[in-house]
Amino acid sequence: MENFILYEELGAGSSSVVYKGRRKGNLNYVAIICADKSKRPVITNHVRLSQDLDHPNIVSFYEWYETSNHLWLVVELCTGGSLESIIGSDGCLSEDVVRRFGWDLVNGLKHIHELGIIYSNLTPAKILLDGSGTLKFGNFCLSKANGETLEDFFTSVSTSEEAGEGDSKDVSDDMRETLHGLPTYTAPEVLQGSETNMSSDFWALGCTLYYMYTAVLFLVY
């Protein structure tokens, strides 16, 4: 990471921090995600699914690095924050804005599905706004290939690392609990134990559109 300059912190989670950054000798800013190595399974999943995606409604992935203590991802910088933060500050959005944002989400999800990927965890927190006002899908950590069982993939990554460097163990309990996403945006059949699929992605999309228009969570359980 010595080729990059880190600027201000843009956000932080329990085991990751996002910085505004820039490659030395380049005037284009990027987002740089610093993640703890304990997150290797989900980071590896994000990279394998997003690295070849090229679409105006998907955050571009550029490259990733590993240092002694962290994994680093370099991705497209979206300066508008998350859809969740926008609704949190503005409240319900106008019909025109919901229509325009909804078109962004439909186009992005259509492209994702055409490539055989299930987004799996569609929530407003995972949708980012770029500087021109376009929504983009920004987090593929819990996505999967259609027909795949994500827990099996995570276990295979953890087992491989345990046999190698040993900095990742089996799929943790907290990771298991997040595999099907937040209940508010999760289709009923997934809550009952079914795998996520294209239909459950559409359910989450509908819940997100409802939240944009009303600023109220769509609760049916």
- Model pLDDT for residues 78-119, shown as the tens digit of each residue: 999 999 999 999 999 999 999 999 999 999 999 999 999 999
Mean pLDDT (the chain, rounded): 90
Helices (H) then strands (E): counts for the chain: 7, 9
Residue 147 burial (10 A CB sphere; 0-12, 13-18, 19+): exposed
Q: What is the pTM of this model?
A: 0.88
For the domain covering 4-76, report its CATH number: 3.30.200.20
| pLDDT of res. 169 | 47
- Of 24, 2, 20, which is closest to residue 11 (Cα–Cα)? 20
Give the domain 83-145+169-214 fold: Transferase(Phosphotransferase); domain 1 (1.10.510)
Q: How many CB atoms lie within 10 A of CB 215?
A: 13
Amino acid making up residue 132: S
CA distance 174 to 195: 18
Same fold, 4-76 and 83-145+169-214: no
The string of pLDDT tens digits covering residues 24-69 is 999 999 999 999 999 999 999 999 999 999 999 999 999 999 999 9
| pLDDT of res. 66 | 95
Sketch the domain layout of the chain as residue ranges. Answer: 4-76, 83-145+169-214
Percent of the chain residues topping a pLDDT of 70? 88
